[in-house]
Structure 1
Amino acid sequence: MELIAITLDCPDPPALAAFYQAATGCEPHPRSNAEFAGLNGDDGLLIGFQRVDDYRAPSWPDQNVPQQLHICFKVTESLDEAEARLLNLGARKPAHQPHGDRARVLTDPAGHPFCIVTH
């Protein structure tokens, strides 16, 4: 069995795909549209974004609306540099940071939490 795709629910697939494209450098899937947008990773993994009516963003770290998914990305720059770059792209930084200096938790524009790590 091989993992070939991960899909996130969101209110605006093209906008969330644009955020992750700018963050990762992945190429857009050629059949992306307003209902489903995708990015092709170098390793063949598709990251998909599907429109959900009445989408409710996760409320991490509390679980009133569960986080649903948590993605981790290894960055090549320092955590401070990566955080600044991602915040400039539209990510947000929650006050709760449980990993100390080992990782940073950010949320994407649709509210999904994700971590950045250097190792």
Structure 2
Amino acid sequence: MTASRPRLELHSAVLDAPDARELAAFYRRLLGWETRQDEPDWVTLRAPGGGAGLSFQTESAYVRPVWPAGPGDPQMSVHLDIAVDDLAVAGAHAEAAGATLAGFQPQDDVRVYLDPAGHPFCLFLAE
């Protein structure tokens, strides 16, 4: 007997941070997304065109990941891939929003940045 699969829809990815509102403000500047929920320890952003969003939660025991991680370093558990038309222009925008270019860049056609809480995200050329 085959059971039918229930309706499942990805709502959002959640990033921990020392301050949910501060990290959400960075991604709001970076992506231009709208705030849908704003509580002291929880913020959700949504793209104006719909789709899955990003949520942020304050975690008092947050440990900043290390990129790239070495032995004994806190590992990144997730990163965001963001398609762009121009790496230089998008990179300048990311830095103006508060991102830091990572010291280690593993690919020529991708730029790794760190958000203010240390989460890596990649800008890559859209196909």
CA deviation after TM superposition for structure 1 residue 3, in Å: 1.4
Q: For this pair of structures, how many residues does the alignment match?
A: 116
> What is the rounded CA distance, in whole Å, between the counterparts of 2:76 and 2:112 in structure 1?
12
| Structure-2 residue corresponding to 1:36 | 42
Q: Which ranges of structure 1 fall in alignment gaps of 5 or more residues?
A: none
Shift of 1:2: 2.3
d(CA) in 2 for partners of 1:4 and 1:15?
Answer: 21
User: Residue 85 of structure 1: CA displacement?
Assistant: 1.1
Please give the alpha-carbon distance, in whole angstroms, between the structure 1 residues aligned to 2:97 and 2:122.
Answer: 15
Look at both structures and tell me which one has the larger radius of gyration over its CA atoms: 2
TM-score (norm 2): 0.86
* Structure 2 match to 1:10: 17
Percent identical among aligned pairs is: 34
Partner of 1:54: 61
- Post-superposition offset of 1:16: 0.7
Please, which runs of 5 or more residues in structure 2 have no aligned partner? 1-7
Moved over 4 A (4+): none
CA shift, 1:46, in A, is 2.1
Is residue 21 of structure 1 aligned with residue 28 of structure 2?
A: yes
What is the CA deviation profile of residues 10-54 of structure 1, one whole-angstrom value per residue up to 9, with x for unaligned ones? 01111111110111111001x312200110122331200000012
Structure having the higher strand fraction is: 2
Q: Give the Cα–Cα distance (whole angstroms) in 1 for the partners of residues 107 and 79 of structure 2.
A: 14
